[in-house]
Amino acid sequence: MAEPHTKPPQPFTLRMRRYDPESGQAPYWQEHTIELEPHRSVLEGILQARDRFDGSIAIRCSCRQAICGSCGVRVNGEPALACHTHLDAAMRGARDGVIEIEPMGNMPVIKDLIVDMDAVHWRKVQRVTPWLLAKQPVPQREYLVPREAMVDVTQTMACIQCGACVSDCLAMEVDPGFIGPAALAKAYRFVGDPRDAQQFERVNDLAQDPRGIFDCTHCFNCVQACPKDVNPMGQIMRLRRIATVDHHIVDRNNGERHEAAFTRLVKDNGLLWEAELLPRSYGGNSWFGKFAPRAGKELLSSLPAIIKALLRGKVTPAGALRPHKIPRRDLDSVRTIYDKVEGRGERYELNLFISGHDEDEQPSAPSAVPAGEADESR
């Protein structure tokens, strides 16, 4: 049973980023000391500051229980739901004894802690056709689909569209055009749904788009930021596997070839041989790849970066020419993993979001979904 919250109210100082684009003034920090029990939320602290000290503080909120997704902010530099962050926990993460609250990143600020979700987040969600394109003929009554297939998409259905993942996406910071973690997680919601008629078209579209699934840099920020464990990066990797392994899509962004070169190099050497990655990605997945005209062109355009890396000692000429070595025994272990994974008859996608089993079911592994089953709609 949960411990009752018995601690009395205590003071907490909040440092809030204030900005009103219409005022013409630059953003500034403002501090207020509020008094609340430590288990109360940062949102309650902001609302108290607004009630007691400054009625012009702007914050968006509705449910106050981590359901509606409206109160996304940054607390001490990390994306969070203000209503789902306890004051005592926020205080533990405070750098100088003051809880710092800012608007989310990667989206324009409308006022203070409110960002323009329409301009970025919702526009990107619309980009992925976020509705079911039903298989025909539509049944007279409901579609019957395997229960496991729906469990597989449940994780993405947990998204509350708060934008925390968008706020901290490194790829979006560099390329604001990137479709982004939340929208791509939404895309998997329909790509993985056996009732949808356009799985190939959807993944092909997202693979061929230069700002699509291959634009993600695997930084894990979205995984860490998400308050609902949607694991957006994991959903992007699933989209990639469906595009490359199931539909054999060779995209114009070189994503599929890059992935193939990467895995082959690790299989052959036990570690990544960075200097070989680019030529093989562009010229073909073998040592001779570097002699292909396309690889030469890419190598030439990457020369400034290569010279910089050499000058800074990130790459040495010897390291570029020879693969990194690991002991033979370790290399054998790496290859055993490859043999095991590649030798499997079907791919298993592990949905770690749902655990346990229904009482009327045989105890089995309901979270493990054979990829092939996703098409068995009846």
Please say which residue, 179 or 226, places its beta carbon nearer to ligand FES: 226
Listed ranges 21-29, 196-204, 205-213, 226-234: which one lies at the site for ligand SF4 (CB under 6 A):
226-234
Q: Phi-psi bin for 132: left (phi > 0), alpha (psi -120 to 50), beta?
A: beta
**What is the distance between the alpha carbons of residues 322 and 52, in angstroms, rounded to a whole number?**
67
63 binds, among ligand FES, ligand SF4, none (CB under 5 to 8 A by kind): ligand FES
Sign of CA dihedral 358, 364, 365, 371: negative
Residue 236 binds ligand FES (CB under 6 A):
no
Would you tell me how many other CB atoms lie within 10 Å of the CB of residue 121?
25
Listed ranges 61-69, 187-195, 258-266, 338-346: which one lies at the site for ligand FES (CB under 6 A):
61-69
Q: Angle at CA 112, nearest 5°, toward 211 and 72?
A: 55
Q: Whole-number minimum distance, CB 223 to ligand FES, in Å?
A: 19
Q: Phi-psi bin for 351: left (phi > 0), alpha (psi -120 to 50), beta?
A: beta
Please say which residue, 69 or 284, places its beta carbon nearer to ligand FES: 69
Q: How many CA atoms lie within 13 A of 147 on its CB side?
A: 7
**What is the distance between the alpha carbons of residues 306 and 313, in angstroms, rounded to a whole number?**
11
Q: Phi-psi bin for 249: left (phi > 0), alpha (psi -120 to 50), beta?
A: beta
14 binds, among ligand SF4, ligand FES, none (CB under 5 to 8 A by kind): none
Residue 170 binds ligand SF4 (CB under 6 A):
yes
Sign of CA dihedral 73, 79, 84, 85: negative
Is 57:50 a contact under the CB 8 Å cutoff?
yes
Order of all β-strands in the sheet with 10-18: 28-36, 10-18, 99-102, 72-75, 78-81
Residue 125 binds ligand SF4 (CB under 6 A):
no
Q: How many residues bind ligand FES (CB under 6 A)?
A: 12
101 binds, among ligand SF4, ligand FES, none (CB under 5 to 8 A by kind): none
Query: Which one among 36, 57, 71, 125 touches ligand FES, defined by CB under 6 A?
Result: 71
Please give the full DSSP string across 117-166, using - where no structure is assigned: TIIIIIHHHHHT--S--B-SSPPSS-----HHHHHHHHHHHT-----HHH
With CA atoms as reference, report the closest residue to 303 among 279, 273, 272, 271. Answer: 279
Write the binding mask 242 to 281 for ligand SF4: x where contact by CB under 6 A, - elsewhere: ----------------------------------------
Residue 351 binds ligand SF4 (CB under 6 A):
no
Query: Which one among 47, 114, 153, 160 touches ligand SF4, defined by CB under 6 A?
Result: 160
Query: Which one among 10, 62, 316, 333 touches ligand FES, defined by CB under 6 A?
Result: 62
Query: Which one among 45, 103, 105, 163 touches ligand SF4, defined by CB under 6 A?
Result: 163
Q: If DSSP codes are grouped into helix, strand and coil, which group holds residue 238?
A: helix
Residues numbered 200-219 forming contacts with ligand SF4, rule: CB under 6 A: 216-219
233 binds, among ligand SF4, ligand FES, none (CB under 5 to 8 A by kind): ligand SF4
Residue 56 binds ligand FES (CB under 6 A):
no
Sign of CA dihedral 217, 218, 224, 230: positive
Residue 155 binds ligand SF4 (CB under 6 A):
no
**Residues found near ligand FES in the complex (CB under 6 A):** 61-64, 66-71, 81, 83
**Residues found near ligand SF4 in the complex (CB under 6 A):** 159-165, 169-171, 181-182, 185, 216-222, 225-226, 228, 230, 232-233, 236
